[in-house]
Amino acid sequence: MLWNVAFTGLCFFIPGFIVMLSYNKILQFQGGREASGVLKGFDPLLNLVLDSTIEYLRDPDDQFKLTEDTRQLGLVVCRGTSVVLICPQDVMEAIPNPFIQQQDG
């Protein structure tokens, strides 16, 4: 079971990660996909189990833009090597990219 493996392995390397269980999280994956859901469990390889998962769809013409469209996925197992970012949903805020050079108009 994921719970037993999680408490013996990963909790020593990421302090406070166990506290994040049962809270809404936003995940970003390699390739640009984004999803949110309730974190239910994990293992030492950081494979994550999310419940009530919602995927945020991207614009088919411009893959760098998120649309308002979503897709309900339900219970999902996310491979740990493809997860780029995981953060609490209620504190995430998008900011403009500070590294893009501003063009004089």
Q: Where are the domains of the chain?
A: 2-90
Contact 25, 33 (CB under 8 A): no
**Record: fold of 2-90:** SH3 type barrels. (2.30.30)
Q: Which residue in the block uniquely carries the two structure tokens 């897709």? A: 71
Say what the pTM is. 0.68
Using one digit for the tens of pLDDT, what is the confidence trace for 14-60?
666 677 777 788 888 998 889 999 988 888 888 999 999 999 998 88
